[in-house]
Amino acid sequence: MRVYACPACVYKENASMRFKADASLFLVALIWGSAFTVQRVAGQQNVVYWFNGVRFLLGALALLPLSVRSRGLLAVSRSQWLWMGMAGAVLFAAAALQQAGLQSTTAGNASFITSLYVVFVPLVLFVGWGERLRWHELAAVGLAAGGAYLISAGSRLEVQKGDALELLGAVFWALHFVILGKFVSRYDAVTFSMGHFAVCAVLNILAGFFWEQPPHSVPGAWVAAILYVGIFSVGMGYTLQVWAQKYSPPTDAALILSLEAVFGALFGFLLLGERLRWTQAMGCLLVSAGVLLIQLRKSKSEYNSPA
């Protein structure tokens, strides 16, 4: 799950703070990339909703002190409840598809295919809000689509079930990103994030009651995975990223955060022994090219334009 700081935030011209911010973003990419490996381990238990419910509940609790400190809880309006609910429902769908896909695909595949949400954002804006598509966005979609096919099909020329779930999840991650980008700036960002994490947690727990058997025993690896993803990936990752993007130029942030997919594949190789065929490696390069094309063109045209 990814929550980005308001694009209007202006970074300070301070070399020391910029270095610290870039280092923090690097740590965020490292945490988020490694989380795919952790989720892959948890996915072997064939539990989706209970796992997501607990991890997003932990993420919400991790942000609670920050929300109390900012007094955002005291100013939650009816419209904020509405958009937190909608964002939480979309997050529920995105996270469920991602975790279900990780039961039958690799951490490396999941990380690169999930990163396609960046490329899908312009398509969501075109379909849902009528915003026009630019040439570089169409080019990025083409690159990413070809890359996703190579990652999933490999040498068999057949898209695998887990990868298809990750691809559908990437569409919901894109919708989630658009909702946050258009509405979270109206409210206290930390409180909004905490609230929609809580909504997502409740929906997952309810789904677990209806569609999954509660785990009779809880392996230590499963508990460790929940704690890592809930506290570090959701809570710590979000907090660091919000702070860092106040001081890091958008181009820096785009490049550094795109390393999340690379770290996902790297940790899958180091910890789980996952291997990429040469066709899958080519697919990863194409996906990365599409993601970077979207991010860098956006940084230049929207963030660094003269006043």
**Dmax (CA) of the chain:** 60
Give the contacts of 82 (CB within 8 A, at least 6 positions apart).
none
Question: Within a domain: residue 62?
Answer: yes
In the predicted model, is pLDDT for residue 278 greater than 60? yes
pLDDT digits (tens, 9 = 90+) for 15-25: 778 888 888 88
| 91 — pLDDT class (breaks 50, 70, 90) | very high
pLDDT digits (tens, 9 = 90+) for 120-160: 888 888 888 888 888 878 888 888 888 887 887 665 656 78
* Ramachandran quadrant class, 273 (left: phi over 0; alpha: psi -120 to 50; beta: rest): left
Taken in order 37, 38, 40, 44, the sign of the CA dihedral is positive
Question: Within a domain: residue 281?
Answer: no
| 242 — pLDDT class (breaks 50, 70, 90) | low
Provide long-range contacts, Cβ within 8 A and 24+ apart, for 69-74: 70/188, 70/190, 70/191, 72/187, 72/188, 72/190, 72/191, 72/192, 73/191
Residue keyed to tokens 């381990």: 41
Mean pLDDT, residues 46-62: 89
In the predicted model, is pLDDT for residue 246 greater than 50? yes
Residue type, 247: Y
Environment class of 137 (CB within 10 Å of its CB; exposed 0-12, middle 13-18, buried 19+):
buried
What pLDDT, on the 0 to 100 scale, is given for residue 120? Answer: 87
Three-class SS of 78-100: HHHHHHHHHHHHHHHHHHHHHHH
Question: Within a domain: residue 34?
Answer: yes
Question: Within a domain: residue 307?
Answer: no
What pLDDT, on the 0 to 100 scale, is given for residue 98? Answer: 94
Total domains present in the chain: 1
Residue 45 token pair: 């238990």
- Spatial distance between the Cα atoms of 161 and 153, rounded to a whole number of angstroms: 10
In the predicted model, is pLDDT for residue 100 greater than 90? yes
Mean pLDDT, residues 271-288: 85
| 168 — pLDDT class (breaks 50, 70, 90) | very high
Mean pLDDT, residues 156-168: 81
Rounding to the nearest 10 degrees, give the CA dihedral for residues 185, 188, 194, 199. Answer: -70
Question: Within a domain: residue 289?
Answer: no
- Spatial distance between the Cα atoms of 213 and 226, rounded to a whole number of angstroms: 18
Alpha-carbon distances of 272 from 16, 41, 160, 174, 225, rounded to whole Å: 37, 9, 19, 28, 14
What pLDDT, on the 0 to 100 scale, is given for residue 305? Answer: 31
pTM: 0.82
Mean pLDDT, residues 230-238: 81
- Spatial distance between the Cα atoms of 155 and 150, rounded to a whole number of angstroms: 8
For residues 280 and 151, the answer to whether their CB atoms sit within 8 Å is yes
| 204 — pLDDT class (breaks 50, 70, 90) | very high
For residues 253 and 25, the answer to whether their CB atoms sit within 8 Å is yes
Question: Within a domain: residue 105?
Answer: yes
Question: Within a domain: residue 251?
Answer: yes
Question: Within a domain: residue 139?
Answer: no
In the predicted model, is pLDDT for residue 104 greater than 50? yes
Domain containing residue 178: 15-134+159-273
∠ CA 21-121-229, nearest 5°, is: 50
What pLDDT, on the 0 to 100 scale, is given for residue 63? Answer: 85
Average pLDDT, the chain: 81
What pLDDT, on the 0 to 100 scale, is given for residue 131? Answer: 82
| 250 — pLDDT class (breaks 50, 70, 90) | low
Report percent pLDDT > 70 for the chain: 82
- DSSP H helices, 115-249, are 117-129, 135-153, 161-183, 189-211, 220-227, 237-244
